[in-house]
Structure 1
Amino acid sequence: MRRLFATVALTLPVCLYASGAFAEEEKRVPLKPIDVHAVKVAAAPVLDAAVVDGVWKTAPATEVKAQKGINFKDGQGNTTGTIQAAYDAKTIWLRVVYDDPTLSVRRMPYVKQADGSWKKLVDPDDKGGDNNKYYEDKTALIWNIDHSIFGFDEKFGCQASCHAGEPGKPYGNKYTEDEGELGDIWHMKYVRGGFNGQADNQYLDSTRFDAAKFPDAGRKSDASAAGNPGGYADIKLVEGKPEFMSKDAKPANKGGTYWLKAEDKVAFDDSKFVPGDEVSSILVAPFTGDRGVIKVSAKWAEGKWTIVFERPLTTASKFDVQFADLSKVYGFGIAFFDNAQVRHAQVREPLHLIFDK
């Protein structure tokens, strides 16, 4: 029997819904979905967020308002943006623009201390997966695969899979209510792939949170290529020092980067650094296999992020939304993260992608 949603005021932060009485949920006024129209193009747009001509001059720009995040310029965690979409016989593109006052890439670096030791910067207020001070900017879309997530398309958008107040995760967990409900996540994490032209292709299922077995609850990554996983991994401290550094030996805060490409890593040489220098704590390689099918161009300039997503209309993975029937409407949600691990500003309304002929 389906587990149903309880009443929670729509003005509360993200991760609103938990199981409960359907009669109470029905008392709320459903949010009106927002349509996003994809225009058909004869020539593929250039995958470059700096390009504003071509289809992006004429494609309808749907305005959205995202709410209840953290760190955005209005002090309330709100921001505004636009979404455009285009497609051809094989590919879909989405261009997302939104306000963000700062470029955030200082993701938990190691810092050399006055006594020569190394320490990772951490958010002192983080009570569990909730870093809002030393993180990165991100953007995430969730697609309702085969309309399987109950209430997603009609009323709740991605809030249908958010769950607050669970032990160990102060901002809640992400999972669908019932087995068989699946979402496709396009997750642009700038430090862990966005800078390199990729979004992390992930998915959402009904797995509940378990601190030891499933700390990310229903959120999972698509399969990587066998023998070549790619992706990202934490750089460990070995005998009190970071295990790797960039071969150019540039501190991240002095012309280097807050990510370390796998091909640039060398053994750490502590003599290259002085107190106050920062180095990356994350090792990054291109996503591979199903996990690597989403290309992006992401650029921040003058208080705005522009992100262009590119993906084949159809893929071989059951964990991807398949845009196989262009006469159908595809439900999705979108969220923006300003230097935040999970406290994102979200568009509350369900979004409907419509392919124009």
Structure 2
Amino acid sequence: MQKSLMTGTDATVAGPSLRPQGKTLRRAPLATILIHWLVVLSIGISLATGWRIAADAPDAIVSAALAPVLPQGTVFYWHLISGCVVLALMLTYTLYQISSGLGRRLTHLRNTENKSTSSAQSAVRLQRLDRKLYWLAFGLLSLAAMTGLLQYLNAAWPTTAAIEALHRLAAWGLVGYAIAHVGLQIAGGGLRRLATIFLPRNVHSRIAAMSMVIALGAVGGAVAMDRLLLHHLSIERTNTAPRIDGWPDDAVWNSATTVELSLANGANLPGGETTVVLKGLYDGERIYLLCEWADPTHSAAHVPLRKTERGWQIMQTAYRQADENRYYEDKLALMLASSNPMAALTSVHLGTRPLKGEPGAPGGRGLHYTTDGTILDVWHWKSVRNAYQRQADDNFFGPPLPAPSATPRVRDPDSGAWLPRYTAGYRKDPPGTYSGYEMNWEFFDEGWVLPLRLPDDPRDIAEPGFIETASAGGARGPSSIKGWIEFNDTRPYAAGIDPLPVGTLLPSVLPTGQLTGDRGDIKAQGRWSEGRWYLELSRRLDTGSKRDIPIEDGTLLWVAVFDHSQTRHAYHLRPVQLQLN
């Protein structure tokens, strides 16, 4: 007798196809059939959601081609759920095989070469090859589980890229195995052999049920332990508040606890990775956070303007698609949640149109919003646009808003465009229309613009090197690469009075004042020096706003780093839990 891993059939040595055609088909245990199809379903969900995640990569080929038929929405979350189900089924199957005694059939197959016909011998050889492939499937499932777990934990050993490559190898290996397995089943026993996986007999059901209970308990316990073993950042109370100046040289920071977070999958960062060192203090009224991370380039060219023979042009590669990864500033974002450790997974909705009935994001990458009515607090610090104010932009993710029935003919100061992108649940705290800056152009038409203002001072005309990123090694102190022009140092642009020569480069950001209201809650200042950013932020523990998360014991926090990238930030999935001492 032989037991098939994926079809779960019990068969004589020669296989059911060698029986006379009129004989009754052999039947597989009901438990084997159920486990088999649950494995097929969960692996199918894992592959489909995994391909959707992979399709978001700028260099994706196969997964990008499959994107039109792949699922959309909270695919990160469902990829994690299906992975946990696969783990539970793997453990269930192992316990079931051992306890029922069926497992020995995976390693023993009687030799019939001297007792059977040549067709029987051929069938046995195919069955033996199929049995060897079972162990390959075991190995691929184990590799997929291990590398998936490492990615969830944001492990960087040996490198994030190597872990992702092994995870892809396991996924495509399982696709190849499934094709080979079905082919060998048919070749070794015909369709009659393959049909046995649809014909149940009720044996070993109690053993299978007990195995599943044990497996679900083990995986459920691991999930519970994961929530108990989150990173914890101890926020110590202080009587001396640090200066919010972007330098970590206040003596009070020496007593602060440190947490290091490994971030991955960010555009432009070496290997897509960086490590954020996070510290926190509070004084009973405000919290103070210090973020430090490696970034080999200081990027201050936020879609600058260049004068050409045809007129003024925005320097960009994919700005209108919200996917600019060259001419952009460095940024950092923090996200706060009250209690949901899965918020980083459930607030991301991938796909061209994940929200039925509403438009998708311009670049087709997905949208941010919540589906349970909750608010996620987002602190969005932009190294150029927020530098003048010494603030961070206070935003939030919430339930998605419907798109306006008609595009309003009003200029969006954040983008300088007449057609601001639909952002679903990603919104700015009120007053949302005042950004404390505006883009220095009149309208946006495939990159060609009219500047709003020209500089009075020739020193505000950028050097040619401004469009490239500064290399590491800058002196300690305020950067000489400003990236913006003070409004009071400019005059209105007039087409007939434009003495600037062709080739002139201009920063595109015009500061207009401080962020106010809810949107101006966060003090922030960052400095770049010798290949590292240092950013200090501060906010009241409880602002009283329904769009802000009160910071208290147990508040959850995530960090995202942007290296001159508009939206492709490095991230981690598991939150840091704050502990106020």
Please give the range of the TM-score, normalised by the shorter of the 2 chains: 0.7 to 0.9
Q: More deviation in 191-200 or 166-175? A: 166-175
| Gap change, CA 1:188 and 1:21, over 3 Å in 2 | closer
Deviations 1:84-138 (A, max 9, x none): 000001110000000111111101111012x262111111x56721110111100
Higher helix share: 2
Matched, 1:283 2:510: yes
Which residue of the other structure, out of 452, 462, 469, is the alignment partner of 1:243? Answer: 452
| Gap change, CA 1:20 and 1:37, over 3 Å in 2 | closer
Amino acid at match of 2:329: E
Alignment of 1:171-250 (within 5 A): 171-178=365-372, 180-207=373-400, 210=403, 215-224=422-431, 229-237=434-442, 241-249=450-458, 250=460
Distance between the aligned counterparts of 2:288 and 2:300, measured in 1?
25
Distance between the aligned counterparts of 1:173 and 1:351, measured in 2?
23
Q: CA RMSD in A?
A: 3.1
Q: Name the SS of the counterpart of 1:291 in structure 2.
A: helix
Q: Name the SS of the counterpart of 1:81 in structure 2.
A: strand
The structural deviation recorded for 1:281 is 2.5
The structural deviation recorded for 1:23 is 6.0
Residue equivalent to 1:69 = 266
Distance between the aligned counterparts of 1:336 and 1:17, measured in 2?
21
Amino acid at match of 2:559: I
Matched, 1:24 2:229: no
Unaligned runs of 5+ in 2: 1-44, 58-71, 88-148, 150-222, 354-361, 408-420, 465-479
| Gap change, CA 1:350 and 1:47, over 3 Å in 2 | same
Which residue of the other structure, out of 332, 342, 347, is the alignment partner of 1:139? Answer: 332
Distance between the aligned counterparts of 2:252 and 2:334, measured in 1?
22
CA contact (8 A) 1:209 1:216 kept: no
| Gap change, CA 1:257 and 1:307, over 3 Å in 2 | closer
The structural deviation recorded for 1:304 is 0.6
Amino acid at match of 1:117: G
Residue equivalent to 1:3 = none
Higher strand share: 1
Residue equivalent to 2:485 = 260
The structural deviation recorded for 1:61 is 1.3
Distance between the aligned counterparts of 2:530 and 2:80, measured in 1?
45
Deviations 1:139-165 (A, max 9, x none): 000111x43xxxx32xx3523211112
CA contact (8 A) 1:108 1:121 kept: yes
| Gap change, CA 1:34 and 1:302, over 3 Å in 2 | same
Distance between the aligned counterparts of 1:224 and 1:133, measured in 2?
30
Which residue of the other structure, out of 500, 516, 536, is the alignment partner of 1:273? Answer: 500
| Gap change, CA 1:21 and 1:304, over 3 Å in 2 | closer
Distance between the aligned counterparts of 1:160 and 1:209, measured in 2?
19
Distance between the aligned counterparts of 1:268 and 1:183, measured in 2?
40
| Gap change, CA 1:109 and 1:353, over 3 Å in 2 | same
Distance between the aligned counterparts of 2:481 and 2:546, measured in 1?
39
Matched, 1:102 2:297: yes
The structural deviation recorded for 1:172 is 1.9
Which residue of the other structure, out of 313, 316, 332, is the alignment partner of 1:119? Answer: 313
- Higher RCO by CA contacts (8 Å cutoff, separation 6 or greater): 1
Unaligned runs of 5+ in 1: 1-5
The structural deviation recorded for 1:258 is 2.7
Amino acid at match of 1:92: I
Deviations 1:294-339 (A, max 9, x none): 001200111111100011111131101113xx4x300111100000
Q: Name the SS of the counterpart of 1:290 in structure 2.
A: helix
Distance between the aligned counterparts of 2:79 and 2:277, measured in 1?
35
TM-score of the superposed pair, with normalisation by structure 1:
0.83
